[in-house]
Amino acid sequence: MEIQRVAGQGTFGIVYLALLKTNNTLVAVKTINENATIQERISFLKEASIMKQFSKCHHVVKLIGVVSRGQPPMVVMEFMERGDLKQYLRSLRDSSQNFTSNEIYRMAIEIADGLAYLSSRKYVHRDLAARNCMVATDRTVKIGDFGMTRDVYETDYYKKGTRGMLPVRWMPPESIADGVFTTDSDIWSYGIVLWEIATLAEQPYQGLANEQVLQYVVSKGILTRPEECPNLLWDIMRRCWDWYPSKRPTCFEVIDRLQDHVGEDFKLISYYHGREGQEFLLTHGGVRTVNHPALGTGGFQYEEHPSENIPLNIPNREEEREGEEDPLNEPECLPPSSLQQSSSSSDGEAFELQLLKNY
């Protein structure tokens, strides 16, 4: 493997673009700073351990291998040329290219397919958001970055007591109030991702500080419908935000509703239409755990509303400028980690790579 150039920054260190010589493929190499603590090194390698289990789905970013010889360790992953989905969506704001409903549906079904694969393996993501989805050269969207983007997008997170950094704008009421995370809570977050897609990555609950978002969500408040949002997409969003977790759609149900709006090629590459996905549907399709709604309010008081959900109604704010932090969030977030380039990595340097057997 040969390092070619710096591709960006990750939570723990520099991300490089490298050439995998065994098959002449470009890959992304995540590194960790030499001065990282033992706990940070454990957290860094934990993502690789998690992603090793999820190597058979086209819509989840693939782990290729780990460089374990020498220091620092490196995690080698599939290279996603267009970066994360949040960044990509914002780049479309200044584009003359029309963002069609068919493209929106394609993104939506690809993320749902990746989430269906994870849920079939009883994995709860807990942090599904546009920033944690990656975009390939052909604009395929895949779920990735399992817990490694928190310092890159620090203003998307909120520190609440001893519970660490929480992505409150993507969290359902039961997670905020009771700390409960399930496949159903991932579906709530998926609905927020659809809202991000429809708004070209506007900040959810824009105009509210994080504390206000907490209060609003546990008061049964939801986001408003984006302008020019397709009816089907809005209906899916609303169902994803049902107060009762077990009334939210499953990933498989979302795919079923969207599949007539995407090309036939989706059936050839999706987990849903593959042998494994269909077997899961046959054996587990009718089985669903009943997850209860928020029992507490997480220290917040709210009034019971007669309607199912209350849409967000706040004054419009001027759209965030590209690259600026939201001043409402700034004092409520931890400072970003120090990101320094490792002195042991340089352009053209070669490393031995332990490849996964199935790559």
Active site residue: 84, 94, 113, 127, which one?
Answer: 127
Q: Look at residue 258 in the predicted model and tell me its pLDDT.
A: 98
Stretch (H or E) spanning 77: strand 74-78
3-state secondary structure of 205: coil
Identify which of 89, 55, 87, 67 has the alpha carbon closest to the alpha carbon of residue 20: 67
Domain-wise residue ranges, the chain: 2-79, 85-332
pLDDT along the chain (359 residues), means of 10: 82 84 88 83 79 85 82 85 93 85 97 95 90 94 68 48 74 92 94 98 95 94 95 98 96 97 96 95 82 68 38 43 40 26 35 44
Task: State how far the Cα of 243 lies from the Cα of 13, in Å rounded to an integer.
Answer: 39
Single-letter amino acid, residue 245 = P
Report CA torsion sign: 245, 249, 251, 252: positive
Our CA angle for 155, 225, 213, nearest 5°, is 35
> For residue 3, what pLDDT is reported?
87
Q: Which residue has the tokens 């993320």?
A: 111
Note the CATH architecture for domain 85-332. Orthogonal Bundle (1.10)
Q: CB within 8 A of 168, min separation 6: which ones?
A: 157, 158, 160, 176, 210, 213, 214, 217
Segment (H or E) for 20 = strand 14-20
Is 127 among the residues known to form the active site? yes
Q: Read off the tokens for 153.
A: 């997008």
How many angstroms separate the CA atoms of 14 and 318, rounded? 33
Q: Do domains 2-79 and 85-332 have the same CATH topology?
A: no
pLDDT in tens, 167-212: 899 999 999 998 888 999 999 999 999 999 999 999 999 999 999 9
* pTM (whole model) above 0.85: no
CA-based torsion, 53, 57, 60, 66: positive or negative: positive
d(C-alpha 241, C-alpha 189), whole Å: 9
Please write the tens of the pLDDT for every residue from 271-302.
999 999 999 999 987 777 888 898 765 444 43
**Nearest one of 182, 201, 294, 282 to 244, comparing CA atoms:** 294
Distance of CA 191 to the CA centre of its chain: 12
Q: Say which CATH superfamily domain 2-79 falls into.
A: Phosphorylase Kinase; domain 1 (3.30.200.20)
Task: Please answer whether residues 309 and 243 qualify as being in contact, where contact means their C-beta atoms are separated by less than 8 angstroms.
Answer: yes
Give the span between the Cα atoms of 198 and 54, in whole angstroms: 28
